[in-house]
Structure 1
Amino acid sequence: MSDNHLTVPAGAQNPQNKLAKPIVRQVTLEDITSSLKLGILDFVKTPVIGLTFGAFFMIGGILVTLLSFWVDMSYISYPLACGFLLLGPFAALGLYEASRRLQAGETPRMSGLFTLMWEQRRGEIAWMAFVVIFIQFLWMFKVHLLLALFLGMQGYGTFVQFAQTIFETSDGLLFLAAGHLVGAFFAVLLFAVSVVSFPILLDTELDFVTAMITSVKVVTGSPVVMVGWGLLITAILMVSMIPAFIGLLVTLPVLGHTTWHLYKRVVTFEDAK
């Protein structure tokens, strides 16, 4: 099978998908565990693909952190690194496609995966990526706003000095608490609108607004299970970031593959009447 064939999303092979109506069913714990097992299995079957995408996240996390120090804004290194990881659903397009090909009994090839990602730059997926990036920019703006409100616009010579201000002053502790509350809000928002929206757009010809609405329905329809899944993802990613984001080599591709299988279990389609 040629690489060119790999660049054609499933939805493009069936124009009726544009008229399809997404049907969301409740997510169970068994859905999560089964999808995770399949995600691990996909990683084992295609380790080179998984490690390549994992390396992208690892290097990207290191670079955004170093960038914050280089521009003397070390205080945003933590939220910036976390925010970068939330771009994962877009960057994981290649992983979704790999899982889709494996599920169809085919062998994914690296060149075809990168070509597919490049060809999505002008489609609905690009609009979805814009939404995710816009929310992340809002998050960073709120961090700056909270910093000014609680600590003023004073400069910090080193990250250690900033950390001392945060943990050894009452204003710093208030900033830390408020920052995490705001961060939690934006993290939940991003999780809700993107948890299955990118796989939907890769797999069908639906528009990005419908994909986002469907994704939100998945979360609101099973809030306990999905919030629990989101918290587990957060814990896995936090641990993976220590040290030097190296754990992302494995955890990000596994989570990417898992997301595809979770989407296929909880979202089905029927032709619009």
Structure 2
Amino acid sequence: MHPRFDFPVRGLPLPRIRHVAAAQPLSWLKAGWQDLRANPLPSLAYGLLFALGGDLIILAALEHPHLISVAISGFFLVAPLLAAGLYELSRSHGEGEKLLFIDSLRCFRRNGQSLAFFGLFLGLTMLFWERVSAVAFALIAIDTPAMASAYLSDILLNGEHLAFTLTWLLAGGLLALFVFAISVVAVPMMLDHDTDAVTAATTSLRAFSQNLPALLLWAGLIVGLTLFGFATLLFGLVIIMPILGHASWHAYRDLVE
């Protein structure tokens, strides 16, 4: 039996959480694809922005190869907030409306204070992980190769620093899982209701704890599809990120009453 977190935040009762089937994330992906087809131009515009963000990550990593893994993990950390416009497109489509790209950007002005606070938390989390990783890699690295691939091969793949590699990957994975748990429905909820960031994050944590099989699968799909997008020289992100963004809205609608 999963733990429950049915306590009030700021004196208000938290919304009820629905239980979904373990395979429900596949339905979310299907719904995300349908939303992409219904809003092709604005959705692909967001996908292009994500791909350009990935380009910036790669360019930064070429200059500073020790940042490549941190930059990619940071991409996962801030993506839920950056996808707010995609949530707005899905919300409007569900209500029978069709928005232009510029119209979807107005969602950031709705409940902007809560979104900004949550974004600040995500940014500080990314900065914390970057500093921890920089110090950790500096302690074991003697010479820093000019190319990111050579650096990662020397540090992570030659077996000399196996204990460090496993510890670092475990710590990063746990941090990413925690951020996923408090954000999986948080941003859509803040857009759908005038909800503060603490209530949204608490609701997200409850949804995660009460739907572990489905949301662990959902986390794995997000990571796997995003990494596939990077592997396609970022071209895949143009389509993958809009689908994931739209699907995340449907995840919220299924999980939160």
Instruction: Name the counterpart of 2:58.
Output: 65
Mapped contact 2:48–2:237 kept (Cα < 8 A): yes
Deviation, structure 1 residue 152: 4.1
Instruction: Name the counterpart of 2:87.
Output: 96
| Alignment equivalent of 1:191, drawn from 180, 183, 187 | 180
Q: Which amino acid is the alignment partner of residue 98 of structure 1?
A: L
Tell me how far apart the structure 1 counterparts of residues 29 and 232 of structure 2 sit (CA, whole Å): 24
Instruction: Name the counterpart of 2:164.
Output: 175
Identity %: 27
| Alignment equivalent of 1:137, drawn from 119, 123, 127 | 127
Mapped contact 2:22–2:214 kept (Cα < 8 A): yes
Q: Give the secondary structure class of the aligned counterpart of 1:26.
A: coil
Instruction: Name the counterpart of 1:7.
Output: none
Tell me how far apart the structure 1 counterparts of residues 153 and 31 of structure 2 sit (CA, whole Å): 44
TM-score normalised according to structure 2 size: 0.88
1:84-163 pair list within 5 angstroms:
84-117=75-108, 119-120=109-110, 122-149=112-139, 151-152=140-141, 154-163=143-152
Q: Which amino acid is the alignment partner of residue 224 of structure 1?
A: P
1:36 aligns with 2:29: yes
Deviation, structure 1 residue 168: 2.3
Instruction: Name the counterpart of 1:10.
Output: none
Instruction: Name the counterpart of 1:266.
Output: 255
TM-score normalised according to structure 1 size: 0.83
Mapped contact 2:61–2:148 kept (Cα < 8 A): no
1:192-271 pair list within 5 angstroms:
192-268=181-257
Q: Give the secondary structure class of the aligned counterpart of 1:249.
A: helix
Gaps of 5+ in 1: 1-17, 269-273
Q: Which amino acid is the alignment partner of residue 43 of structure 1?
A: L
For structure 1, which segment, 225-234 or 27-36, has the greater mean C-alpha deviation from structure 2 after superposition? Answer: 27-36
Instruction: Name the counterpart of 2:3.
Output: none
Query: How many equivalent residue pairs?
Result: 246
Instruction: Name the counterpart of 2:38.
Output: 45
For structure 1, which segment, 216-225 or 136-145, has the greater mean C-alpha deviation from structure 2 after superposition? Answer: 136-145
Q: Which amino acid is the alignment partner of residue 199 of structure 1?
A: P
Deviating beyond 6 angstroms after TM superposition, the runs of 4 or more aligned structure 1 residues are none
Gaps of 5+ in 2: 1-10
| Alignment equivalent of 1:83, drawn from 50, 69, 74 | 74
CA deviation profile, 1:86-142 (whole Å, cap 9, x unmatched) = 31111111110110111001111222112333x258410111111111111122122
Deviation, structure 1 residue 153: 5.7
With over 3 angstroms needed to count, the CA separation of the structure-2 counterparts of 1:32 and 1:159, relative to structure 1, is closer
Deviation, structure 1 residue 163: 3.2
With over 3 angstroms needed to count, the CA separation of the structure-2 counterparts of 1:22 and 1:121, relative to structure 1, is closer
Tell me how far apart the structure 1 counterparts of residues 150 and 251 of structure 2 sit (CA, whole Å): 44
Mapped contact 1:27–1:226 kept (Cα < 8 A): no
